[in-house]
Amino acid sequence: MTTSDFRPLDAMEDDRDAALARAAAAGRLDEDFLERFDAHFPRLHSLFTRLYGDRPDGQEQLAQVVAAASASWKSRPLDLKVRDRQRASDPDWFQSERMLGGVCYVDRFGGNLDGIREQIPYFRELGLTYLHLMPLFDSPDGENDGGYAVSSYRRVNPSLGTMAQLADLAAELRLAGISLVLDFIFNHTSNQHEWAQKALAGDPEFEDFYLIFPDRTMPDAFERTTREIFPDDHPGSFVPLDDGRWVWATFYRYQWDLNYANPAVFRAMAGEMLFLANQGVEVLRMDAVAFIWKQLGTSCESLPEAHLLLQAFNAVLAMAAPGMVFKSEAIVHPDEVASYISPEECRLSYNPLQMALTWEALATRDGRLLQQALERRHALPAGTAWVNYVRSHDDIGWTFADEDAAEFGIDGYRHRQFLNRFYTGKHEGTFARGVAFQENPATGDARVTGTTASLAGIEAGDEAGEDRVVLAHAIALSTGGVPLLYLGDEVAQLNDYSYADDPDRRGDSRWVHRGNRARDQYARRGDLATPAGRVFHRLTKLISVRQSTPEFAGNALTSFRTSHHSVVGYQRVSGDAVVLVLANVADAEVQIDPLTLSGFDRAARDLVLGADVDLAEGIVLRPHGFVWVRVTPL
């Protein structure tokens, strides 16, 4: 077909017929598929029209997307179709109190995919129902941003295994009650990706897959309004090519941003997404969602088209892999984070605000910002949920809203500076041992890296370190949605400074919290004489209580204020039953007086201790202590 055969998007009916004809030419159309096509094509068409209405190739690319979706459904393995049906009858499956996520690097935690398979008994012991394997795709040797520079979405990095092994692992995990979660790194590819190589060689089809400019004119114009994301690596948003051209690279210089203004890019990436769906991935972590659309004169973050693109990917999914769910990774202002969460975009989202404010509260011994966030920013649309975590493979960015902090007289900029100093060990009396990440002298901005145990004080020998680790998890495990463990944290894994000796890693301090599986600590997890054993014992207790407490299902939460600034309080409700959570971030004991609790019947039950409590006597919260109590409202 030549370009002259292309025509722009037109009336829905015509485009629908053209798309169906395209799909039918590739093979008989499946009844199930047709049903879902009818339900979702109008939405996809309308999104395509808004995104690509003025492109001559809009209609052709849309037809190709539909053809790919039809073919993908046809080749979707039967067990996955069965899973699709289960999900359709229980679309809120991820809201269950039984949900527990874990995340790890394949090489660091298991050596390779086989090694991960061998860990399945451990994952079951822990109670995982969701396993996020960090990027395991083919990527350049040496620097590759921990696998976030993808050279092929269809090939597993040979040092880890093969795609067939991955599909087998997904099936095995499913049998063990664990859903496989993988990244969809769709904002950029590695510069070694076949598309990038063709673009570099001057193939015009693939040059249009990226944002490549002949000189600095456009880069300069864009950079007037964009932010620097990885300033340690390169200033601005562009990097030079050897031939003098400039290519858009938001993150590392070897990660080239895709040009979604070209519908062929959407079509190509939808194909990669469907391929992954058919390997048995159940949740796709949508990497760097805020950056996928660029527009001159804007910040090029979270533009309306970024949402349209997610909705369009979602519509394709609904046609061809309906059981799969998107999780948003947007580490930005809380309003923007929330904007990606809906059944039409991402049903799941990291909760970076709660994560950051948990650490903020531990540093300040003041829970008010966290309490305010729970009151103001926790509620979500029906059918969606947070992924609540304490640490991840990434840095901690202090993404609270300045306007929220200002209500307590806190200056956002100065507070972030304090938190950075505190968590990088520069503040006097700090318990934290973290490392700065992407310090930007021009803006004074920085983020923090380090493992939970090191940041919470265990590395520094602070006697409250273990309590802080448990307290932070007690919050993440009880605020709803999917709690996500950064594996290693459950055995109090400490920072690993050896990255500084590795030339491929020393430029990225996030490696400090990406150590190899802490074999010794895992071996000692039953030994209560060790920090690993004590933390493991206490966290697994919390996990088992969470998993047998129906009030912890779902996402809804009601604030419960006390008169203590150091106490964060909320209620989780299921029918008539209520669990009250009170968490004390202070170094001192706090007494919650009987009057504060007088809205409840005096007979209550401490779920963690498994003991009755008399609320008429009040509740004593130890320093860095918390309670999960089942109460009866009067």
**Rounded least distance, CB 510 to ligand GLC, Å:** 7
By Cβ distance, which residue is nearest to ligand GLC? 148
Q: How far apart are CA 329 and CA 292, in angstroms?
A: 12
**Choice among 207, 228, 287, 466 that is catalytic:** 287
Q: How far apart are CA 398 and CA 328, in angstroms?
A: 18
Tokens 């692992």, residue located: 169
Considering beta carbons, is residue 73 or 105 the nearer one to ligand GLC? 105
Considering beta carbons, is residue 328 or 430 the nearer one to ligand GLC? 328
| Of 36-44, 142-150, 165-173, 471-479: span binding ligand GLC (CB under 6 A) | 142-150
Residue 329 appears among annotated catalytic residues = yes
| Of 49-57, 144-152, 164-172, 445-453: span binding ligand GLC (CB under 6 A) | 144-152
Q: Between 197 and 236, how does the x/- string for binding to ligand GLC read (CB under 6 A)?
A: ----------------------------------------
Query: Which of 319, 343, 325 minimizes the C-alpha distance to 39?
Result: 319
Element of type H or E holding 121 = helix 120-126
Q: How many residues bind ligand GLC (CB under 6 A)?
A: 10
Binding flag, residue 486, ligand GLC (CB under 6 A): no
Residue 582 in contact with residue 600, Cβ under 8 Å? no
| Of 38-46, 141-149, 158-166, 396-404: span binding ligand GLC (CB under 6 A) | 141-149
Q: How far apart are CA 387 and CA 148, in angstroms?
A: 20
**Rounded least distance, CB 493 to ligand GLC, Å:** 18
Considering beta carbons, is residue 247 or 492 the nearer one to ligand GLC? 247
Q: Which residues are within 8 A (CB) of 175 and not within 5 positions of it... i.e. 6 or more apart? A: none
Q: How far apart are CA 370 and CA 13, in angstroms?
A: 50
**Choice among 15, 84, 257, 329 that is catalytic:** 329
**Rounded least distance, CB 343 to ligand GLC, Å:** 23
**Rounded least distance, CB 537 to ligand GLC, Å:** 31
Residue from the set 18, 185, 491, 518 that interacts with ligand GLC by CB under 6 A: 185
Binding flag, residue 287, ligand GLC (CB under 6 A): yes
Q: Which residues are within 8 A (CB) of 382 and not within 5 positions of it... i.e. 6 or more apart? A: 343
Buried b (16+ CB within 10 A) or exposed e, 19-54: bbebbeeeeeebebbbebbeebbeebbbbbbebbee
Residue from the set 123, 186, 251, 522 that interacts with ligand GLC by CB under 6 A: 251
Considering beta carbons, is residue 57 or 145 the nearer one to ligand GLC? 145
Binding flag, residue 484, ligand GLC (CB under 6 A): no
| Of 140-148, 217-225, 373-381, 544-552: span binding ligand GLC (CB under 6 A) | 140-148
3 state SS of 562: coil
Considering beta carbons, is residue 389 or 431 the nearer one to ligand GLC? 389
Binding flag, residue 394, ligand GLC (CB under 6 A): yes
Both tokens assigned to 398: 């202090």
Burial class (CB in 10 A: 0-12, 13-18, 19+), 150: buried
Residue 527 appears among annotated catalytic residues = no
Burial class (CB in 10 A: 0-12, 13-18, 19+), 1: exposed
Q: Is the four-CA dihedral 85, 86, 87, 90 of positive or negative sign?
A: positive
Binding flag, residue 145, ligand GLC (CB under 6 A): yes
Point out the residues that are catalytic: 287, 329
Interface positions with ligand GLC (CB under 6 A):
145-146, 148, 185, 251, 287-288, 329, 393-394
